[in-house]
Structure 1
């Protein structure tokens, strides 16, 4: 049994070996067949190439002079020898490389057999350089063993193997450089044989070193660039040239197109369509021209634009014409042909497009056709005119003059004219054209000629010839004789009278001693009865002027009158009489003189101060109160005059009346209250009233000493007698000391004010100085500071640092603990609380009286309807201050809310403020309302910018970094935009207003996709372009030794950044809304004193109240609607104490809502600048149109 099994096993082994042998022989045959096929194909290709060359030699002759046969033979032999040498040259020595490896003969034989059997296949062969500039070759191959395939790589020098590796199971390790041991790998041996055969049949590699290769690459790139430039130039080689034609006195233009040969464009509308679609069309018999605009020269592109404008105009005209004629002639398609008529704006555009280019011109008028090449020039033509006697009959009687002259044909543009002279097309001056145009209309081929009879010589000589003499050379044959027939120049006399609520005017024309009624030119001209000596045209012209004021005619009395129209009577008195005096002599009766325009009324304003009130006394000279009320009412109705009781007129265009109404509006007094004389006003109107009186010289004002003292105190704040505490004198900068004095001046006159200094200028220190000075001066009372919750401990630190003498209590803890602190408030100098706690504890403050009340970051009460705004306004305090770098973020109502806290009633009630100031400014850009607000609020706002007061502060550089989405992120963004467009398209205005919160949520989603799609798509695994850009920027900044603040509105985005920074081994701090106040202070201190490179901060939570001068780079990851908020965040680093230049990077996703937000910020940032000074901005509630603009609709 065992023998049978053994025999069976041996039989199977023998059969397996036989099958392997057969497979090997089959592979060998296949390899041999493949080799023979390749050789056959190579011979076939060589034979084909040989036959092709022989046919070309036989069928193609040499263009130009042939070479000498001997020379050709000699050169050919030399070339063949060169080719033979090149073919024989081998840089790499295949046989030497093969034998450079110590491989046993049986292994080498096996490897070469594997190669011949096709078990080894070449994948790649190339040359390169090693680190010592040595020239190296590399061959990569794939070896097969059964079902397995593994790579083999050999690197070689000119004569030896440098490196060999094989991934077959037999290779225990890589072969690096020279291996002195015998290798057992047949696959390396097979690859070496393959390399030997390849190098034998191919010219592979040469001795060019790395520098040589680099040099050649540079020159190759240069040739490529030149070739590209040539190709681009060739693209723009398509010429498109105009041809100007004159025919039957009219100009037209046609065009030719082509490269070398030019073809007429027969249908210009079809041509425009071809250009629009970059289409190809046929010209001539078979010339194909592509109309891609890029193919045309720059000049050609200009002419295309010119044609497009005219073709559109022609098509619209032809369409209107065809529609109007369709009912008569039926429908007929209209087209624009090969030429365009030139006139009006077309001619202007043609001339402008010519520039320095010469244009072909064909003149088809006249006996012979003429061709020229025209260039353009600006000059007036020379015009001559000859005046001679008009001969009639025997010539004994003088009948008039004959005028002859010449003028080139003028072609009218829009405001100027053109003429062609020789090889130039000339544009004339506008003034020249205005004077010569009537003459040009009567000019023909023979020039112009006309006759002027004796009765019209006065009009010609007195009115027309003086205009022509400026532009025409005039020749008179008998000047003295001609002028002896001219009548005397006319003089006019106007007779003014009044009576029965009417004013009359008689008009006489005097010629020497003779006087005529000018109404004759109307009544008798029809019958030709005007005396020959009269200048009827001039008289008619003067009558036309006079009838502006006297439009009615009394034929019986031969005079003009106003028809009792009071408005016309006023115009006669105000300006008409002076105009008549310019035309001639004016005579009037005593009755007329009773009608007069009185001088502006004198207004006196007395101002005094007593018992904390402003006393105002208004008086006018000799005008009763009742009439003054009517005058003010007429002025408000925007009338030009007021008719006084005595019949005279008062001109209401008077600055004193303007000031009175402005004062009445500002003080919110009724006209009746105003004219009664004495009024009592709040003291805070002092500075506004002084400004008005100062700007109106027409109003007499008397200010008492107390009033002048208040005004002087504000005008000379820098010289005020308020001394800052000695302990702070060395610390405070000059501008901070001035701010301290300004705050004390406000207090002295019981005013409140806004300290609106730029972020980082030390508003806190200025207020602490005021509180400390009050204590040192012995003033009793407790002060209250209200700040955002995140800044309570910051205020505590600042008090400890700058005013340890003050007893400061921070209101924190439970409600019971807070109540205890508030109840014992008199034991402290200062209480510090937050807006949120003040809302909850407001009842605890009900009976408390504070010396100073300061609200920090006063924009927290910008909405006057909120509980926070109401809470701060019910606190009882003697002096109120507001601190904020952005008094206006979104709307003017925010400024009103702050002033309603500071000085209730100062900007009126909100309804009045909105109606009289906010709405006119926002909706109509009303300058008067804006000026009024500036004058009122300006004195109570102190704003200084860092650039103005901190000359030693390092500069701040801003840079926008744009990123572009990849495919997946772009698709998500586009999908969200499409969704929002469809949603908005379906909504009415009412639905939009109702669903606005939903729409803003969708906008937020759009912004999150820009930041990182994973913020709103939970399983998103694609790219996030901005995240990658931010991480690169952070790494680059760290490498450069910088430390940075990174702001984002989205705390979830900060979480993603934290995860990435942790993965990169970068340490960081983080502040969000959930970070406790104590932890904030600790981290800020550690960051400024340590070396942690990154601080991640939520824009809303950490954008204010932090001093982070340890950073010199600020990165805004995403743009926020409100530019002021971003600026506040930036100023956490760019502030006092900063010693390095601060660089601010704003990351923007290109082509997205983020770019649109930037533009919207710029569009809306000017409002606050107008009111309070410079550099602040806002983005208000978005309108439907603004949202559509953000989406690119």
Structure 2
């Protein structure tokens, strides 16, 4: 039981003594009040010198007064009545005194006796204890006191819970008459009542205990102990100052590892399990005669930390082993972790070797002759082993040889073995090849030596099979080798006689020992019949027979032959593998009939490719084979056979890369073997690049390509050198990689292929596309273009065309249904029509019968689901050249890629059912590498993707882009009404009235800007669309899918609040900083953002525009531009600053045909005026006239 003690002669006395000071102060206060008037009068009469002295004293007191340096930092929470602290102290009492009194069962007479004992001070409350037991969850109390009667002192004890007295022991003379002082509660004595009276006063005064249960108390105590340990750690040690030094000891063939710990002086760690616990709890422990060491992990050196992690692993392993022994009620032993040393073997030895490092560790070897110490280092080498061989005789008769193994002691790890090299004191890891060759010796070697005898009958096996292998790794020293050689039997020489007839192969196998020759079929007879020739190497012979029967399993004992039973598969396997084996182990003789058997050969495949009439012509043939035979060979290959036997008996090896390529061709072109070899096949031209890729990868296939095919492939491989010149007006605008992208798109157009421009966001996919469209106009190729984009980007396309290609006439297909119909009907009046996915779905009937030269879909992931109306609509448009723009061609599933290709080149990736069966399922579910490679070969020529890191040299530090959105529906009407209201107000005022109402106009202008951002900012019940919010979320989603992280700035914190639920809905992680975010919290969020993977940081412009380093982001979005460009650029620089390793892309969202666009244009022409409008709260508006305001509000 944990204890809390309180000592007092009596609680009553303590209470009385506590009350006196309070009453005394009260009386003294009354006296002071009475004296105040007199003192005041006296002070009025004090002379001036005394006032001067008092002034000096006051000044001196002020010098020593305490001043709070951090006011409010740790101020307690205030309550309305200011009495919270008093209530917390006085109103709560855990122990129910009345319930305790009832449970004690005191009679009135007994209570009177108890009070009498208290008045006469015959009872003393010595101690109270409070704590927990394993049987009660709540806190228990124990009151211990003394009774004094006629000079004798006796103990009284009472144990109680919150509301019940559990036990009373009184040793007064009356209670001693009863067994062990127990007394019936109804007959508790006056001494017990007296002790309870004192306990009652104690509980009322000190109010100990609360409802914390045993588990909660233990948890708090644990945290308190850890906090105390951390404090002691900060005081007792410096970061990285503790050394943990290992020592390796070898004794009786075992390795053990012990440790010493300390800073200047090192102390032996006697119990490693306790040591690990101390590290875990950051505890302080005493070593030696009083040296205190705190075990916080951070106090140890880096090497020490590595050793601690190793010790933990071993100690945990030992603890688990010990627990299993206890659970199984098996024998027990002292766990290694409880001692100061770790036994090293298995994985422990492997890990120890890795941890040793270059510096080495202390080493001690204990033997019967004494100790040897030094510094042990690590290395990799084979041990120096000597194998001594000498004749073994008995009574002058040669019996065989004695072999002695002399080498170091080996210690087994889990992966390999180790030994200690004595001279240089190095722990060496043994090469696995050495272990493989010497394993039988190491398994039976005693310590480091081994001695055994090989008799005469086994000498051949030892000398011919074992010793040659051993000789590569050990030093062999042989005594009197000439004598031994006289008794060494001759080595086995194998001879094989091969024949072939009627599709069967036969083999007669013999073994020669000197001049004697034996049939290997003898091994298959009983020992009695075969005899026991002592000179024969039975094991070696058995090995040869076993391998021979792998190919020739049948046996004809009468003819002494092994054969294959005419099985074609066995004949093929023998010719491919068995013959080579026999040639390697002995002499092979054969008949002419066997020689006439041709070993399996590979076929020479030829592929002819040509181009005519917009199609690929493909012709497949094989040298010396008819089309029928080639068809049979392909059929055998597809049935997973290893060979094919021609009618003439020749074998064709089907393990051939050329056949694999033909199978891939058949699968990708969906042709049966019969269709594949019947003659010329006609394929779509878009298979050109895929076919070229396959032919390039297969050197065993002979191929011929006509000039047109070669030209097409060359054009595509040398895109950067293509003769397509970018428009002159864009030559200084486009960067090198953009010019390459332009040429790539032109090449695809020339070859009538579609393609995906999948550059990273901010790299200018729009500009590259506009360059292609402009070149068509300038080169007289004319034509019409349909661009389909998300609604938020439709106006952005118009602005980009106006900026980069003003020669192009474009039309935004927007407005009501009738207005859109008229625009589509007059399509030939424009070079480019721009519409949204949503409007294209509605207007698809109006596009019927209209053929476009180009069709471009922006943010092509919008058609990733091929079943949607948007995907079906873009595929219904009649267009000659199709391009797709997207930064994320695959977001989640491969079906998304299929849908885009189905738009670009229908049928190229087959139907979706076939694509799913042959590619998507094998790749995604079965992780089939061949399917992934096949898909990659098919699509890679038609996807151009460059990341920012790929084109760093061509990029400026910042990429800046303005994205325009157009207000529609309710939002547009609200903006128009507000702008009209402002125009009317301003128009109705003369110049003086306008000057007086400037601040009101500024507020109205702010409202107008809020409507641009989101009408919900100023209209609580607004339930319509918000063009800019939708555009921003689309941009965020696209950036996140492209692997980017971004900062989103807005001067309206309420706008950030509107974005939060949208991000949560899309499961996009975010942080937020506003003016209410504390400094410490800001720095914490900045650190977590830069070091973590949170995708979005929402920042109010004024709160986060300066002082933050957010280089974890590479995209910046200005939701509502700050018209003071210096402030806006400061915000951008939160990401684009020292430490940023990536290029930063900056997006500015502008509402089209609104005050935002007007002021942006003013920024370009009247920078000073722009600053005046929105730089301050009105102080800079003096120069803004009534006409300036009206110009801003023009529609």
Q: Same fold (TM over 0.5)?
A: yes
Q: In the alignment, which residue of structure 2 is the partner of 1:1047?
A: 1117
Q: In the alignment, which residue of structure 1 is the partner of 2:61?
A: 122
Residue 903 (str. 1) matches residue 941 (str. 2):
no
TM-score (norm 1): 0.60
Q: Give me the CA root mean square deviation.
A: 5.3
Residue pairs, 1:997-1036, within 5 angstroms: 1003-1004=1064-1065, 1010-1011=1071-1072, 1031=1102, 1033-1035=1104-1106
Residue 314 (str. 1) matches residue 390 (str. 2):
no
Cα deviation, residue 575, structure 1: 1.9
TM-score (norm 2): 0.60
**Contact 2:785–2:853 (CA<8 Å) still a contact in 1?**
yes
Residue pairs, 1:57-456, within 5 angstroms: 106-110=47-51, 112=53, 122-125=61-64, 231-232=236-237, 236=241, 242=247, 244-247=249-252, 249-253=253-257, 268-269=272-273, 271-278=275-282, 292-293=296-297, 301-321=305-325, 323-324=327-328, 326=330, 338=339, 340-355=342-357, 356-359=359-362, 361=364, 363-364=366-367, 366=368, 368-370=369-371, 372-373=373-374, 375-376=376-377, 378=379, 382-393=384-395, 395=396, 397-404=397-404, 406-414=406-414, 415-419=416-420, 421=422, 424=425, 426-427=427-428, 429-430=430-431, 431-436=433-438, 438-439=440-441, 447-456=449-458
How far apart, CA to CA, are the structure 2 residues paired with 1:352 and 1:1046?
A: 47
Residue 914 (str. 1) matches residue 930 (str. 2):
no
Residue 22 (str. 1) matches residue 22 (str. 2):
no
SS of residue paired to 1:459: helix
Residue 852 (str. 1) matches residue 923 (str. 2):
no
SS of residue paired to 1:390: strand
How far apart, CA to CA, are the structure 2 residues paired with 1:360 and 1:445?
A: 19
Residue 1074 and residue 843 in structure 1: after superposition, are their counterparts in 2 closer, same or farther (change >3 A)?
Answer: farther
How far apart, CA to CA, are the structure 1 residues paired with 2:1083 and 2:373?
A: 68
Cα deviation, residue 282, structure 1: 7.9
Aligned partner (choices 573, 576, 580) of residue 574 of structure 1: 576
SS of residue paired to 1:606: strand
Residue pairs, 1:418-817, within 5 angstroms: 418-419=419-420, 421=422, 424=425, 426-427=427-428, 429-430=430-431, 431-436=433-438, 438-439=440-441, 447-498=449-500, 503-520=505-522, 523=525, 529-551=531-553, 554-562=556-564, 567-589=569-591, 592=594, 596-620=598-622, 628=630, 631-645=633-647, 648-717=650-719, 739-759=741-761, 762-775=764-777, 778-779=780-781, 781-800=783-802, 803-817=805-819
Residue 1088 and residue 561 in structure 1: after superposition, are their counterparts in 2 closer, same or farther (change >3 A)?
Answer: farther
Q: In the alignment, which residue of structure 2 is the partner of 1:207?
A: none
Measured against aligned partners, the alpha-carbon deviations of 1:201-234 in whole angstroms (never above 9, x if no partner) come to xxxxxxxxxxxxxxxxxxxxxxxxxx99995259
Measured against aligned partners, the alpha-carbon deviations of 1:623-679 in whole angstroms (never above 9, x if no partner) come to 566765554454345443345555554322211211111111222223443243333
Measured against aligned partners, the alpha-carbon deviations of 1:932-965 in whole angstroms (never above 9, x if no partner) come to 233322333344566666845433599xxxxxxx
Residue 774 and residue 270 in structure 1: after superposition, are their counterparts in 2 closer, same or farther (change >3 A)?
Answer: closer
How far apart, CA to CA, are the structure 2 residues paired with 1:423 and 1:669?
A: 71
SS of residue paired to 1:844: helix
Residue 840 and residue 1072 in structure 1: after superposition, are their counterparts in 2 closer, same or farther (change >3 A)?
Answer: farther
How far apart, CA to CA, are the structure 1 residues paired with 2:606 and 2:61?
A: 109
SS of residue paired to 1:1011: strand
**Contact 2:1071–2:1098 (CA<8 Å) still a contact in 1?**
no
Residue 1024 and residue 447 in structure 1: after superposition, are their counterparts in 2 closer, same or farther (change >3 A)?
Answer: closer
How far apart, CA to CA, are the structure 2 residues paired with 1:533 and 1:518?
A: 14
SS of residue paired to 1:1010: strand
**Contact 1:406–1:443 (CA<8 Å) still a contact in 2?**
no
**Contact 1:595–1:649 (CA<8 Å) still a contact in 2?**
no
Residue 701 and residue 532 in structure 1: after superposition, are their counterparts in 2 closer, same or farther (change >3 A)?
Answer: same
Measured against aligned partners, the alpha-carbon deviations of 1:801-839 in whole angstroms (never above 9, x if no partner) come to 555554443433332222222223233333333333322
Q: In the alignment, which residue of structure 1 is the partner of 2:140?
A: none
SS of residue paired to 1:496: strand
Q: In the alignment, which residue of structure 2 is the partner of 1:138?
A: none
How far apart, CA to CA, are the structure 2 residues paired with 1:544 and 1:583?
A: 13
Residue 691 and residue 495 in structure 1: after superposition, are their counterparts in 2 closer, same or farther (change >3 A)?
Answer: same
Structure 2 alignment gaps of length 5 or more: 1-30, 68-231, 961-1059, 1087-1096, 1133-1145, 1172-1195
Cα deviation, residue 745, structure 1: 3.7
Residue 1071 and residue 733 in structure 1: after superposition, are their counterparts in 2 closer, same or farther (change >3 A)?
Answer: closer
Cα deviation, residue 245, structure 1: 4.5
**Contact 2:400–2:454 (CA<8 Å) still a contact in 1?**
yes
Measured against aligned partners, the alpha-carbon deviations of 1:876-916 in whole angstroms (never above 9, x if no partner) come to 12222334444344443333222222221122222322333
**Contact 1:781–1:850 (CA<8 Å) still a contact in 2?**
yes
Q: In the alignment, which residue of structure 2 is the partner of 1:143?
A: none
Cα deviation, residue 516, structure 1: 1.7
**Contact 2:407–2:448 (CA<8 Å) still a contact in 1?**
no
How far apart, CA to CA, are the structure 2 residues paired with 1:454 and 1:1023?
A: 83
How far apart, CA to CA, are the structure 1 residues paired with 2:696 and 2:361?
A: 64
**Contact 1:1008–1:1015 (CA<8 Å) still a contact in 2?**
no
Residue 27 and residue 651 in structure 1: after superposition, are their counterparts in 2 closer, same or farther (change >3 A)?
Answer: farther
**Contact 1:319–1:334 (CA<8 Å) still a contact in 2?**
no
SS of residue paired to 1:809: strand
SS of residue paired to 2:544: helix
Q: In the alignment, which residue of structure 2 is the partner of 1:1128?
A: none
**Contact 1:409–1:440 (CA<8 Å) still a contact in 2?**
no
**Contact 1:880–1:902 (CA<8 Å) still a contact in 2?**
yes
Residue 519 and residue 800 in structure 1: after superposition, are their counterparts in 2 closer, same or farther (change >3 A)?
Answer: same
Cα deviation, residue 353, structure 1: 4.6
**Contact 1:520–1:530 (CA<8 Å) still a contact in 2?**
no
Residue 806 and residue 1076 in structure 1: after superposition, are their counterparts in 2 closer, same or farther (change >3 A)?
Answer: closer
Q: In the alignment, which residue of structure 2 is the partner of 1:1185?
A: none
Residue 864 (str. 1) matches residue 866 (str. 2):
yes
Residue pairs, 1:1075-1114, within 5 angstroms: 1075-1076=1151-1152, 1082=1158, 1085-1086=1161-1162
**Contact 2:757–2:886 (CA<8 Å) still a contact in 1?**
yes
Cα deviation, residue 844, structure 1: 1.0
**Contact 1:377–1:427 (CA<8 Å) still a contact in 2?**
yes
Aligned residues: 841
How far apart, CA to CA, are the structure 1 residues paired with 2:56 and 2:38?
A: 13
Residue pairs, 1:979-990, within 5 angstroms: none
Cα deviation, residue 255, structure 1: 5.7
How far apart, CA to CA, are the structure 2 residues paired with 1:344 and 1:555?
A: 52
Structure 1 alignment gaps of length 5 or more: 1-17, 32-102, 129-226, 959-998, 1039-1043, 1096-1193
Measured against aligned partners, the alpha-carbon deviations of 1:421-446 in whole angstroms (never above 9, x if no partner) come to 48946436325555555445565589
How far apart, CA to CA, are the structure 2 residues paired with 1:831 and 1:1076?
A: 18
**Contact 1:1045–1:1094 (CA<8 Å) still a contact in 2?**
no
Q: Which stretch shows the higher mean deviation, 949-958 or 687-696?
A: 949-958
**Contact 1:521–1:530 (CA<8 Å) still a contact in 2?**
no
SS of residue paired to 2:852: strand
How far apart, CA to CA, are the structure 2 residues paired with 1:458 and 1:473?
A: 20
Residue 1006 and residue 107 in structure 1: after superposition, are their counterparts in 2 closer, same or farther (change >3 A)?
Answer: farther
Cα deviation, residue 843, structure 1: 1.1
Q: In the alignment, which residue of structure 1 is the partner of 2:995?
A: none
SS of residue paired to 1:402: strand
How far apart, CA to CA, are the structure 2 residues paired with 1:903 and 1:735?
A: 25
